[in-house]
Chains A and B, each alone.
Chain A
Amino acid sequence: MRRRPARNLLAGAAALVLALVGLTLATASASFAADADQSGNPLPHLADHAGLLTDAQAADLESELDRISDERGVDVVVVTVPTLGFRTATEFADDYFDYGPDPLDPTIPGSDPDAGYGRGPDRSGILFLVSTEGRDGAFSTTGETIKVYTDERLEGLQQDVAGYLHQDDWNGAFQAFAINVDRTYHNATRFRWEIVALVTLGAALIGGFGPVTVWRRQLKSVRPAANARDYLETSSLVLTSQNEVLVSQNTVVVSTQTSSGGGGSSTHFGSSGRSHGGSSFKF
């Protein structure tokens, strides 16, 4: 009978911890869900002003871009135009993302900074621009997508689409773009849940067991002597001989360039003042 309150106490403590861990994970879950559910603006994710796709290809691609955009919580956009006008490919892609299409001439960027693409407070997203006149291509990344698409990953993306563009396989290039974005986001975010769960569990174990283990050790002070160094007469030490030989030498050459998709992302500013990442190329 005397132990029952203690058991209840322990059960209560265990339940409290489980509840707290559950609450933490639920908060994390809600946070991720909120990321993914941030609905975008009504602008279409495919703007084929150069008319490079058939209706069926366009419908198929747009549906795929909509799906990826909603699942990843970023705007994934493909824009084709016949000409860049006075802008460079990078400027055009940045402006189109920031301002959206001009209401009167949708083949050029508009001027309303609130009418552009991008989801979340940092307006995350990626835009793939193709201009047929000068065979220009450009990627523009914004917000969180700048960090996801490092320079190295942008180079990989460019290589994915370059082969199709050379052969004027527009649909192939845009599909490759969509696949690359989907896969890259999957790889960049797939461990989020696991990381949070592991960090939470690890912190619980270390934060719980660490102090109580130290406190438990404080209760024990009976330990057999490990050695007799306390009784060494230091003034008696006489070094009579010493020698030292090199027994092995080993050199390893390590490349300082990383190959894990990490590294930094180069950025620049668009005409709106917003920071962008990305790259441009000829095909």
Chain B
Amino acid sequence: MAQALDYKCPQCGGNLVYSAEVGLMVCDNCGSRFDPREFQAQPQPPDPAASASAAGAPPQGAPEPVPGETAQAAAAAWPPAQFDQYTCRSCGAVVVAAATEAAGTCPYCRSPIVITQQLEGELAPDLVIPFQTTRDQAVAALTKLYGKKRLLPKVFSAQNFVDEVKGVYVPFWLFDYDIHLIEHYTATDVSTVHMGSRRHITTRKYAADRAGDARFLGIPVDGSVNMPDAIMESVEPFDLTQAVPFEPSYLPGFLAERYDVDSSQAAARAHDRLIKSAGTIFQDTVTGHERVASAGAEVFIKQTRLHYALLPVWMLTTFWRGQRFTFAMNGQTGRMIGDLPLDRQAYWRWFFGLAGASAVVAGLVATLAVSL
């Protein structure tokens, strides 16, 4: 059975969690602070679950008897393939969690845990952007998102409270591209010369080509099936210059997932975004014309580099009239997004009011104009 790593305070033995507010690991008991880059996980005590099993007494709260001679059949059937089970080192409970979960909280003792098995070998992230915003900031940003929306149902913002707020380290594939590109432009100039009672309007059209090299760094593609792609792209951009080498010590206190969309699947989306970015990269160099428009581009990829990173996202969920609303905030920049419901009555009330007022004003002005 896999072990769930937790971080204990060297001073008092309390749980250490990563604090976005101070950018350090903080003890939830004595408040001591530690730099996550230098912090080493404390030597782990012997696996209490294993000890309990050996003593013949299953740990309290375990969903099933721990593996033993008589429980082999049950262990084979449980948990299903999409789940894994771990032993909490704080309380010894056997925890069943989604197979993609890399960090979370023990449901029995509420200790933050990091499941190291999900972060090792091929699953080991290269980079992490630590959370730089707090849960309170996420809730405040959601309140701000509700504000000044004329067509948002008033009862939605008045009665609504957030059902769930989760800080999640979402697995992302980051693609670097070194490219050579050839861009095509059409440029147009129009000149007018007055000659007596005639105007000579001359239109000149040019074909302009620009070729050059460019580099894209860290085009992100979310590597989690559970995370809606549109929401993950909507909270962009991330400032990857603030990414640091991955350390599991950034995770305690947050949820984390490991990727379950492999890089070859994710590459298609990154490539698509790369192609859509080409076409106007060198447009600033097409000068001296009245109008310049893109006429296509060819992109040649010289080199691709791939990174696996955990990026911070606050996920907020609420239910209203039986419908689930999901909001997300970039845990680095604080950018909050999410679709809000429409108050249809307010929509038509405003429409008829504004249409009526516009009709009266325009009608009277038009009447006056044609009467004069």
Interface residues of A (CB under 8 A from B): 6, 9-10, 13-14, 16-17, 20-21, 23-25, 27-28, 31-32, 35, 144, 189, 192, 195-196, 199-212, 215-216, 218-233, 236-257
Given known A-B contacts A24-B364, A221-B234, A239-B285, A255 and B355 have beta carbons under 8 A apart:
no
Contacts of B217 in A (CB 8 A): 231, 233
Interface segment out of the listed B20-28, B123-131, B313-321, B334-342: B334-342
B370 is an interface residue with CB less than 8 A from chain A: yes
A253 to B217, CA, bound (A): 52
A239 in contact with B362 (CB, 8 Å): no
A31 in contact with B367 (CB, 8 Å): yes
B216 in contact with A232 (CB, 8 Å): yes
B219 is an interface residue with CB less than 8 A from chain A: yes
A237 → B minimal CB distance (Å): 5
A21 in contact with B273 (CB, 8 Å): no
Interface segment out of the listed B77-85, B147-155, B160-168: B147-155
A220 in contact with B339 (CB, 8 Å): yes
B61 is an interface residue with CB less than 8 A from chain A: no
| Nearest-CB residue, chain B, relative to A257 | B197
B70 is an interface residue with CB less than 8 A from chain A: no
Q: Which of B152, B354, B358, B366 is A196 in contact with, Cβ under 8 Å?
A: B366
A211 in contact with B339 (CB, 8 Å): no
A253 to B198, CA, bound (A): 6
Given known A-B contacts A10-B345, A221-B339, A204 and B209 have beta carbons under 8 A apart:
no
A248 in contact with B216 (CB, 8 Å): no
| Nearest-CB residue, chain B, relative to A223 | B234
Give 9 new A-B contacts, CB below 8 A, not counting A10-B345, A14-B352. A10-B349, A16-B356, A220-B340, A223-B234, A227-B273, A237-B212, A241-B210, A242-B282, A244-B209
A233 in contact with B216 (CB, 8 Å): yes
A200 in contact with B282 (CB, 8 Å): no
| Nearest-CB residue, chain B, relative to A242 | B210
A211 → B minimal CB distance (Å): 6
B39 is an interface residue with CB less than 8 A from chain A: no
A242 to B151, CA, bound (A): 50
A212 in contact with B151 (CB, 8 Å): yes
A80 to B145, CA, bound (A): 80
Kindly supply a per-residue 1/0 record for chain B positions 155-179, scoring 1 wherever the CB is within 8 Å of any chain A CB and 0 otherwise. 0000000000000000000000010
B246 → A minimal CB distance (Å): 20
A16 in contact with B352 (CB, 8 Å): yes
Cβ contacts A to B, 11 pairs, < 8 Å: A24-B364, A31-B371, A189-B370, A219-B152, A222-B231, A228-B219, A233-B217, A240-B211, A242-B210, A242-B211, A256-B194
B202 is an interface residue with CB less than 8 A from chain A: yes
| Nearest-CB residue, chain A, relative to B341 | A219
A215 to B358, CA, bound (A): 17
B347 in contact with A216 (CB, 8 Å): yes
B203 in contact with A249 (CB, 8 Å): yes
B367 in contact with A27 (CB, 8 Å): yes
Contacts of B178 in A (CB 8 A): 236
Q: Which of A23, A35, A211, A244 is B206 in contact with, Cβ under 8 Å?
A: A244
B71 is an interface residue with CB less than 8 A from chain A: no
| Nearest-CB residue, chain B, relative to A7 | B345
| Nearest-CB residue, chain B, relative to A192 | B370
A25 to B237, CA, bound (A): 53
B355 in contact with A205 (CB, 8 Å): yes
A244 to B236, CA, bound (A): 37
A14 → B minimal CB distance (Å): 6
A119 → B minimal CB distance (Å): 14
| Nearest-CB residue, chain A, relative to B239 | A230
B209 in contact with A242 (CB, 8 Å): yes
| Nearest-CB residue, chain B, relative to A238 | B213
Kindly supply a per-residue 1/0 record for chain B positions 202-224, scoring 1 wherever the CB is within 8 Å of any chain A CB and 0 otherwise. 11111111111111111110000
Q: Which of A211, A232, A244 is B187 in contact with, Cβ under 8 Å?
A: A244
B328 → A minimal CB distance (Å): 8
Q: Which of B219, B349, B366 is A200 in contact with, Cβ under 8 Å?
A: B366
**Chain B, range 215-253, C-beta contacts under 8 Å to A:** 215-220, 228-231, 233-234, 236-237, 240
Contacts of A20 in B (CB 8 A): 356-357, 359-360
